[in-house]
Amino acid sequence: MINDSLHRLLLDNLTTATLLLNADLRLEYMNPAAEMLLAVSGQRSHGQFISELFTETREALGALRQAVAEAHPFNKREAVLTTQTGQSLTVDYAVTPVLSRGETMLLLEVHPRDRLLRITKEEAQLSKQETTKLLVRGLAHEIKNPLGGIRGAAQLLARQLPEESLKDYTNVIIEESDRLRNLVDRMLGSNKLPSLAVTNVHEVLERVASLVEAESQGSILLVRDYDPSIPDLVIDREQMIQAVLNIVRNAMQALASKPDAHPGRITLRTRTLRQFTIGYIRHRLVTKIEIIDNGPGISPELQETIFYPMVSGRADGTGLGLAITQNIISQHQGLIECESHPGHTVFSIFLPLEQGVTPT
């Protein structure tokens, strides 16, 4: 026979957020998955009314009361819940009446759609990234081979020229060939593996902040919003500085493009997230770095392609900064996302904090 302790063990280890409400719609039990989803403590929340855990609509509350009165199960799709912290969650949930000790209780199984939608979007992004890498590698091979021949021919020609002044022309050929080769190498990204070491993420951000303050000379307000409790990461410090700096410099250039609209502000924010999925791996703990600016925003058409090489929103941009950043974050088994509308652009970097991971 399966005893109560085994039932509790099974519920506690489910990845589906599960809550049990009594007939008065007060919490009797929630499993750890529900605690993480709603960002509350099950022990402290015991006995609380459902609306103290999250709010939805009056109609939804009435449906729960009706489910108790009529012992009638129901499902709801794409419901929007607002948690105690003010976070909005899009979820599907199933409500099942359960008879216990002569009382009708409600079992709620909550499936977050935000996470599924994000995973789907991430998989598409990673697939596009791999396709782009293959395309760039093939293109780089086709460009670098002729460039080497052009450069070599120019060097041989320079040796045969009768006048020193004519070498100015061959020097232009050699210099432009080198410039194109360097551009292709930057498109390919570094072949060097990250030099991993235990690093405080705020050291990285403070280094970026000092560079920004020096370059902006006080024209941009830099806001720090750090979580000092974040443990150290195992990262390549110099590569991560470059990754964050590429994003921040883009924000600076965006703010400079409309200097009279409003005071330019860039916020560097750090937080930790629990049970976060990157790719097919669920990490117990990740660090989230946000770079937020109040610039003009990124056009919706460009948002889908900003991490591609050679894609830029500026006429004088190379379009390599964000592609390089994404490559660095990928080498650290992390994820980068962007959300933007006029007056508010957020680049979010997610980096695993723990080495132990479990598949989703």
Strand 264-278, strand 220-225: pairing: parallel
| Structure confidence at residue 75 as a pLDDT band (50, 70, 90) | very high
Residue 359 pLDDT > 50: no
| CA distance linking residue 118 with residue 9, whole number of Å | 29
Specify the pTM. Answer: 0.61
Our separate counts of H helices and E strands in the chain read 11, 14
| CA distance linking residue 71 with residue 67, whole number of Å | 5
Average pLDDT, the chain: 83
pLDDT tens by residue, 23-65: 999 999 999 989 988 888 888 899 999 999 998 888 999 999 9
What does the pLDDT average to over 324-352? 88
Distances (CA, A) of 81 to 111, 112, 341: 12, 10, 23
Q: How far apart are the first and last CA of the chain?
A: 30
Q: Mind giving me the DSSP string for 7-76?
A: HHHHHHT-SSEEEEE-TTSBEEEE-HHHHHHHT--HHHHTT-BHHHHEE--HHHHHHHHHHHHHT--EEE
> Residue 315: what pLDDT?
47
Distances (CA, A) of 257 to 265, 274, 295, 348: 13, 38, 9, 23
Q: What are phi and psi of 141, to 5 degrees?
A: -60, -45
pLDDT tens by residue, 6-20: 877 888 888 889 999
Lowest mean pLDDT segment, chosen from 52-66, 193-207, 342-356? 342-356
What does the pLDDT average to over 140-163? 84
| Structure confidence at residue 264 as a pLDDT band (50, 70, 90) | confident
pLDDT tens by residue, 226-260: 999 999 999 999 989 989 999 999 899 888 877 66
CA torsion, ordered 163, 165, 168, 169, to nearest 10 deg: -60
Residue 267 pLDDT > 50: yes
> Residue 206: what pLDDT?
95
For tokens 């509308």, what's the residue?
341
Residue with the larger pLDDT of the pair 93 and 5 = 93
Q: What are phi and psi of 347, to 5 degrees?
A: -105, 125
Highest mean pLDDT among 224-238, 293-307, 313-327: 224-238
**Two tokens, residue 258:** 């409309």
Q: Helix or strand or coil: residue 337?
A: strand
| CA distance linking residue 122 with residue 335, whole number of Å | 8
